[in-house]
Structure 1
Amino acid sequence: MNEVAIDKDGHREMSVPEVWRPTLVAIVDALVEEREPSLPQVVVRASAAWSGMQANVREYGARLKKLPEESWESSVCIWYGYFWDVLVDLYTEEEGRSDLVLQVHIHEDDAGYRYEVVSVYVP
């Protein structure tokens, strides 16, 4: 069971809760290291999706870097009725904060949170 109640207000965006941040950082680390995430609570939406996300990063033309603490100042989430839609601002070596975002759907169940990696794109 989850010990921290996360706001389920589907009418406004909110900051990404602290409890999710370590897992989101691990997902970004996997992107930076060009490997799939290997956490049991993390799944990629479709089998080819991860390679597509890495291709989007390569096509963007800059090198991703590990997520700095300042990313949480602009990253957001919103409740969509069955899951939270999370957009994490990504950073590159060349630009700092880039136009790229990581999209993850976070689902709540009795065991905790499940993270479904959806996409990396420029909104």
Structure 2
Amino acid sequence: MSVTLPILKDEVQEHPVPSAWRPKLREIVDAFKTGNFNLRDLECVEPLDEDTSVGIARNISAYGCTLAALPDDSWKTSVCQWQYEYWKVLVDLFSVEEGQSDLVLHVNVFEKGDSFEYKVHFVYVP
């Protein structure tokens, strides 16, 4: 049985990434895997400017491994926290060669009525 994780507005502590956001976060990672670093064709995702998309591509390439699709294990360590106007989300990324990598995807999620908008901040090694 699968547990649905709620969306919590808690500015005091981190929480697991809500179930409702996971498909879109997987879609973002899949876009990066296929070389779509500007994210122009993803619904509810703000397209990235040239500097940010080039920086993300450079960081992934410099890491030296092939980005993998997000497995369920990613949600065991990925977190989010309410920042008064949006949620800061840190998703642990995986690579084909090593499994869980040191790379993280940093995304800000904004509430827009009954839906959410995603703004990728960066991919980096913290």
Question: What is the TM-score of this pair, normalised by structure 2?
Answer: 0.89
- Secondary structure (helix, strand or coil) at the match of 1:51 reads helix
CA contact (8 A) 2:107 2:118 kept: yes
Q: Which runs of 5+ in 2 are unaligned?
A: none
Provide the alpha-carbon RMSD of the alignment.
1.5
CA contact (8 A) 2:93 2:100 kept: yes
List, as ranges, runs of 4+ consecutive aligned residues in structure 1 with deviation greater than 3 Å: 44-47
> Number of aligned pairs?
120
Tell me, in whole angstroms, the C-alpha distance in 1 between the residues paired with 2:77 and 2:113. Answer: 29
Name the structure 1 match of 2:12.
Answer: 11
Tell me, in whole angstroms, the C-alpha distance in 2 between the residues paired with 1:68 and 1:93. Answer: 11
Question: What is the TM-score of this pair, normalised by structure 1?
Answer: 0.91
- What letter is aligned with 1:21? R
**In the alignment, does 2:58 pair up with 1:55?**
yes
Structure 2 residue corresponding to 1:70, chosen from 73, 83, 98: 73
Equivalence map 1:25-64=2 (5 Å): 25-35=26-36, 36-37=38-39, 38-64=41-67
Q: Identical aligned pairs, as a percentage?
A: 43
Q: CA deviation at 1:46?
A: 3.2
Q: Which runs of 5+ in 1 are unaligned?
A: none
CA contact (8 A) 2:6 2:19 kept: no
- Secondary structure (helix, strand or coil) at the match of 1:66 reads coil
Q: CA deviation at 1:45?
A: 5.0
